[in-house]
Structure 1
Amino acid sequence: MRRLPRPGDSALIVVLLLPLAVALPRLGGLGGPPELWLTWVGRVTGILGLAMMLLAGLVSCRVPGFDRPFGGLARLWRLHHWLGFAAFILVMVHILALGLAAVPASLDAAVATLFPPPSQGAIWLGWLAWVAMVVFLAPTFDFFGKPHYQRWKRLHLVSAVALLLGLWHALLLAGEAWPWWLLGIAGLGAIAWRKGVAPQRRHPYRIEQVVPLARGVVELVLRPEGGGIRHHAGQFVYLTPLDEGLVAGRGEEHPYTIASAPSDSRLRIGIKDLGDASHALQTVTPGTRALIEGPYGEFFERRFPQRDMLWLGGGIGITPFVGGARDLATGAVMEGHIHLFYLASDAVRAYYQEELVDIAERVEGFTFTQHYSREKGAMTEAYLRQYCPDFTEREIYICGPPGMNHHLNRLLLDQGIPASRIHSEVFDFL
């Protein structure tokens, strides 16, 4: 079963098609000789390509709450990436189709169409936009290696230049300008918000404790300097540490899942050593300040209350379930029963197991089961059925490393569980 589209998806489609719908009466149909329909294809792909570029800018705004109609920030980022990629492909088709449309007249005419005299400024603005797109997208190709996080973020400013030039190109050539003004204000306004306004609206916190959980894993306990944020279990934030003693990551924002209950006066974040910034945070100085942006995500919001839940967490992906279990321990109302499986390599790497065992003993309807891969291998259908016989009837939540998520999703789908009842998050996006 395919997952149903989100409300935000429908809104994006409407906005995407708006400039094309306005321009179509002027573009005519697909009939006639090849050069006419190639011209039509070139214009349509150009309109859709620029619209996708501007929408990719719009969905990058990262305003807390804006991500929820799209299924969470991780999914919104995937939409952002696909919109950008599709826009580049459409722009390439736009250029190629317009050039080929002039070939029947002569090769010189085709060259003149794509590379006119300097007086044809609108066309050259389009080429400058294309060059900016290439500069921006080049690091995403595999042969360049994985882009450095902060350099990649700074390079996003080049995408703003591409949008501005592409918008200028369209406004000079379009018969109807108002759809482009609307999309331009939305796309470029979102980038202005992200780069200029949003950093000033982060919440100040003080790092109160750094609690070791295992080698290379700590939990930061942060006290708000002011009102702080309000969150739900399963959400995450962007943390920007300001400790001047950090060897890496100072002033950089990175996403981390909240491990505290929503009612907790302190914000608790589990951090595993997975890179330069997270490695440095293992020894961050207590008492130093940090900035918090968020919360984001809707992990536990996607469910049917009439069903019991199955939680499957592994690695540092256990943190949203820890937040959910701590919420239950504070007296939060629980709809149905919850069974949490903690997938770890061994007891040493099961960071929160003692606390989770204690919560399971105190909270009726919450069950906790450990699974150690060094003893039992990968999780199997038989193991799930042994400890949770009705697991195929439950609403299922998965969070952990990509390999674990892929294995569990495949296992569950093979049992006939519809994809609409499997909700997973992977800790692999920037």
Structure 2
Amino acid sequence: MPLRPRYGDLLLIVLLLLPLVVALPRLGGLGGPPELWLTWVGRVTGILGLAMMLLAAAVSIRLPGTDRWFGGLARLWRLHHWLGFGAFILVMVHALALGLAAVPTSLEAAVATLFPPPAQGAIWLGWLAWLAMVIFLAPTFDFFGQPHYQRWKRLHLVSAAALLLGLWHAFLLAGETALWWLLGIAGLGAIVWRKLVSPRVSRHPYRVEAVEPLARGVVELVLRPEGDGIRYETGQFVYLTPLDERLAAGRGEEHPYTIASAPSDSRLRIGIKDLGDASHALQTVTPGSRVLIEGPYGEFFGRRFPERDMLWLGGGIGITPFVGGARGLASGASAEGHVHLFYLANGPDRAYYQEELERIAEAEAAFAFTQHYSRERGRLDEAFLREHCPDFTEREIYVCGPPAMNAYLQRLLAGQGIPASRIHSEVFDFL
């Protein structure tokens, strides 16, 4: 997907720089001896680091619809990740620069600057905030391996302690505190909403009406709303929390799943592949049991250019947004041009929705469907695309599937001269 700024990005930049702009008149300049500009660097990085910490928390609020300001929830989570990582680096530079600034005086002065007597509590609050950051960020570093999803989410509660300690540190040392109050309320308020309020007020109750097997290790849940249910668009996804007491794993845990039903469908349909403990348990969830749905999120088809026909490339459980799109066409939704779906699977036994998609293609002139089986033909290549969809390089292209498949298709399409602005992809590789 092309990297381009969104309205939400601009808002983050303004909020990030605002505390620095307010503080700059008191920070002096970069001129003078090294200890002066090192002090300036230390203060600037401290201000930016704390602002990044607070904004990383603020964007985790996950209000349905607001993720679209940032290009969808998957992109917003990446921004959240990089804001947190950037804050950690800046806080380290902050401490290092202030310590080095005192070195020309003496080594003892440098040590005392970083580790003063206990009476200077403001500095020690900063160190405690840094320690809390280490605790909740460490599991995300690659050398620890992939963190356990639910433990990682619970560990993020430590981030609230880091924010509180960091704000306390700033309140004691900063001249202006109004902006820190504003950012503090945004960051801590988001955590309170996400962890305490949202689970009680923003989740919609549904009942499991049916569990329809599609293939080995793949089912589609048919969910009936207990109230009005959610309103959604094709290609969006939700967080599903099962409450079935018979589940071997995942009860009460939320996980993201793409919606496979048409927006006009009175039932919510979600395809689930056995990819972990929670999704494995959902293969045998009890019909009639309750689930909670939060969302919708995402804007997979939100960057549609009506003047172009579309090419959809789906594989694995990544076929589900395209199934929802095809079902939408079958239910009377406007195609706004021609759609050609390529279903990439290992073989017919792993093409979960094949028969239904074939029926829709036969009935809808605006929808074409082509199967590609890697066991028979190897990887999808330019020749196969050209044979079945001669104008594929002129279309708006949407890709969804496993990360390795997405990466390969991105390279294949880019090699045909297709600009990145016309290639839209979605990969659920975030936590």
TM-score (norm 1): 0.99
Matching residue's letter, 1:40: W
Is residue 211–residue 218 contact of structure 1 (8 Å, CA) maintained in 2?
yes
Match of 2:420 in 1: 419
Contact 1:317 1:427 in 2 (8 A): no
Structural mapping, 1:56-67, within 5 Å: 56-67=56-67
1:426 and 1:283 map into 2 onto residues whose CA distance is 25
* Residue 382 (str. 1) matches residue 383 (str. 2): yes
Alpha carbons of 1:139 and 1:3: their partners in 2 closer, same or farther (altered >3 Å)? closer
| Contact preservation (8 Å) 2:386, 2:392 | yes
* Code of the aligned partner of 1:222: L
Q: Which residue of 1 aligns with 2:133?
A: 133
Tell me, in whole angstroms, the C-alpha distance in 2 between the residues paired with 1:416 and 1:121: 59
After superposition, give the CA deviation of every residue in 1:64-101 in whole Å (9 maximum; x if it has no partner). Answer: 01100100000000000000001100000000000000
Q: Which residue of 1 aligns with 2:53?
A: 53
The one-letter code of the counterpart of 1:348 is D
How far apart, in 1, do the equivalents of 2:381 and 2:341 lie? 15
Alignment partner, residue 254 of structure 1: 255
Quote the RMSD (CA, aligned, Å).
0.9
Aligned match of 1:277? 278
1:260 aligned partner, one-letter code? S
Is the Cα contact below 8 Å between 1:303 and 1:421 reproduced in 2?
Answer: no
Structure-1 separation of matches of 2:358 and 2:117:
74
Classify the secondary structure of the residue corresponding to 2:75. helix
Amino acid aligned to 1:279: H
Take 1:13 and 1:417, find their aligned partners in 2: how far apart are those partners?
31
Q: Which residue of 1 aligns with 2:7?
A: 7
Structure 1 position 29 matched with structure 2 position 66: no
Deviation at 1:245, TM superposition (A): 0.5
* Partner Cα separation in structure 2 for residue 285 and residue 347 of structure 1: 28
- Residue 208 of structure 2 aligns to a residue in which SS? strand
Report if aligned partners of 1:42, 1:94 keep a CA contact under 8 Å in 2. yes
Hey, what's the Cα distance between the residues in 1 that align with 2:224 and 2:70? 31
| Counterpart for residue 210 of structure 2 | 209
* Deviation of the 1:139 alpha carbon: 1.2
Structure 1 CA distance for aligned equivalents of residues 288 and 161 of structure 2:
40
Partner of 2:114: 114
Q: Which amino acid aligns with 1:406?
A: A
Does the Cα contact within 8 Å between 2:2 and 2:423 map onto a contact in 1?
Answer: no
For residue 287 of structure 1, what is the aligned residue in structure 2? Answer: 288
1:4, distance to aligned residue in structure 2 (A): 2.2
**Amino acid of the residue matched to residue 354 of structure 1?**
E
Which amino acid is 1:41 matched to? V
C-alpha distance after superposition, 1:386-428 (max 9, x if no partner): 1111111111100000010000000111111111111001132
Deviation at 1:364, TM superposition (A): 1.4
Match of 2:167 in 1: 167
The aligned residue for residue 407 of structure 1 is 408
1:380 and 1:76 map into 2 onto residues whose CA distance is 32
CA distance in 1: counterparts of 2:396 and 2:142, whole angstroms: 37
Deviations 1:185-213 (A, max 9, x none): 11111111100111012000000100000
Q: Which residue of 1 aligns with 2:225?
A: 224
Instruction: Percent identity, please.
Output: 83
How far the C-alpha of 1:178 sits from its partner, in A, is: 1.0
Displacement of 1:2: 5.4
Correspondence for 1:333 = 334
| Native 8 Å contact 1:203 1:228 kept in 2 | yes
Q: Which residue of 2 aligns with 1:263?
A: 264
> For structure 2, which runs of at least 5 residues remain unmatched after alignment?
none
Q: Which amino acid aligns with 1:349?
A: R
What TM-score, normalized by structure 2, do the two folds share? 0.99
Q: 1:2 to 1:265 in 2, by over 3 A?
A: closer
What corresponds to 1:78 in structure 2?
Answer: 78
Question: Where does the alignment leave 5 or more consecutive residues of structure 1 unmatched?
Answer: none
Instruction: Indicate if the aligned counterparts of 1:230 and 1:262 stay in contact, CA closer than 8 A.
Output: yes
Letter of the structure 1 residue corresponding to residue 123 of structure 2: I
Q: CA deviation at 1:3?
A: 3.1
Matched position secondary structure for 1:64 = coil
Q: Report how many residues are paired.
A: 430
What SS does the aligned partner of 1:219 have? Answer: strand
User: Whole-Å Cα distance in 2 between the matches of residues 2 and 234 of structure 1?
Assistant: 18
Task: Quote the residue 2:361 is aligned against.
Answer: 360
Q: CA contact under 8 A between 1:233 and 1:300: conserved in structure 2?
A: yes
